[in-house]
Amino acid sequence: MKQKHFQVKAVKAVAPCKLIVTFGDDAVMDVDMGHLISRNAVFAPLQDVSLFLTAYVNHWGTGVVWIEDELDIAGDNLRAEALEQVGGISHERIWEWMHRNKLTLDTAAEALGISRRMLAYYRTGEKAIPRHLWLACLGWERFVAEGNSDEFKKAA
């Protein structure tokens, strides 16, 4: 993970299930791990607050660890969680949208009417995804699902 904004510089665990994470770009974000702990079996051991409070940054700064080689979470996932929890749109949504619709970087950029470079920035999390762009993704997907892909191309 080379992107600075996904690197983890520091983490502080706060009971019962909150992390305060400082990323490589000096952004400090809160991550409520509660829903991940309750919904994902892999994180179930973190219901033990004493274990949760042992969180530390791994050796490479790429994530947070509770049990070495067994229980951790990557920096990009932490940042995505933090963004989503405050109403933002994470880079993971663009990845999922492109995958779900079998779009390349070129075809996705064309569908959205933006440059390939700008879409790459959004997809890697280097730039925040504007709400209107995410709504365009959802609208495009719905339009195509209804069989209107030829009309969409004409309108673009």
Residue 74 sits in a domain of what CATH number?
A: 3.30.2020.10
The domain of 119 spans: 91-155
Q: For residue 94, count other CB atoms closer than 10 A to its CB.
A: 23
Q: How many domains does the chain have?
A: 2
Question: Which pTM value belongs to this model?
Answer: 0.81
Residue pair 124/84 in contact (Cβ under 8 Å)? The answer is no
Q: Tell me the per-residue pLDDT of 44-91, one tens digit each, with 9 for 90 and over.
A: 999 999 999 999 999 999 999 999 999 999 999 999 999 999 999 999
Residues 60 and 132 placed together within one structural domain of the fold: no
Question: What per-residue confidence (pLDDT) applies to 147?
Answer: 80
Q: How many CB atoms lie within 10 A of CB 136?
A: 15
* 2-60 residue pLDDT tens: 788 899 999 999 989 999 999 999 999 999 999 999 999 999 999 999 999 999 999 99
151 and 116 in a single domain? The answer is yes
Residues 11 and 79 in one domain: yes
